[in-house]
């Protein structure tokens, strides 16, 4: 088994055993980049329980997640094993209400009032 396979297997196992996974730079409590901070902040504010995976702690994992999703940037959000997107996509989905729908469809608990507050704060 190659090291790439190991990283791919680790990624697959993580997204299959957790409803919501955020591959990010840093941790939910201490993000190491603005984009990771924004997505983790949205999830935390909306009260979504999620597994944070710090790609900075493992270079193989950092490259492995990009190969796994065929998406070049971090952070990457997965819901129920499906790749949702990165920071821009999550921001757009939050503001449009699509993220609420995705969570509802997949039975992921979140705070609807908090989601509405994010939209209100960004409605200019």
Tens digit of pLDDT for each residue in 60-109? Answer: 999 999 999 999 999 999 999 999 999 999 999 999 999 999 999 999 99
The answer, yes or no, to whether residue 23 has pLDDT greater than 80, is yes
The answer, yes or no, to whether residue 114 has pLDDT greater than 50, is yes
- In the chain, how many domains are there? 1
**Nearest-5° Cα angle at 10, 75 to 51:** 50
1 — pLDDT class (breaks 50, 70, 90): very low
pLDDT in tens, 44-54: 999 999 999 99
Quote the DSSP letter at residue 8: H
Rg from Cα positions in the chain: 14
Mean pLDDT estimate for the chain: 94
The confidence score (pLDDT) of residue 5 equals: 66
103 lies in which domain range? Answer: 3-122
Please state whether 17 falls in left (phi above 0), alpha (psi between -120 and 50) or beta. alpha
**Domain harbouring 82, CATH code:** 3.40.30.10
Answer yes or no: is 33 a known binding residue: yes
Task: Tell which residue, 7, 9, 8, 40, has the closest CA to residue 22.
Answer: 40
Round to whole Å and give the CA distance between 25 and 23: 7
């Amino acid at each position: 088994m190659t090291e790439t396979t190991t990283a791919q297997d680790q990624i697959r196992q993580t997204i299959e055993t957790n409803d919501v996974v955020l591959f990010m730079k840093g941790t939910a409590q201490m993000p190491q980049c603005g984009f990771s901070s924004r997505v983790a902040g949205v999830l935390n504010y909306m009260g979504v329980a999620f597994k944070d995976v710090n790609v900075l702690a493992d270079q193989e994992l950092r490259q492995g997640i990009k190969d796994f999703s065929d998406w070049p940037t971090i952070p990457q959000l997965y819901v129920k094993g499906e790749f949702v997107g990165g920071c821009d996509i999550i921001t757009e989905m939050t503001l449009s209400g699509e993220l609420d729908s995705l969570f509802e469809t997949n039975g992921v608990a979140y705070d609807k009032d908090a989601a509405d507050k994010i939209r209100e704060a960004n409605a200019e």
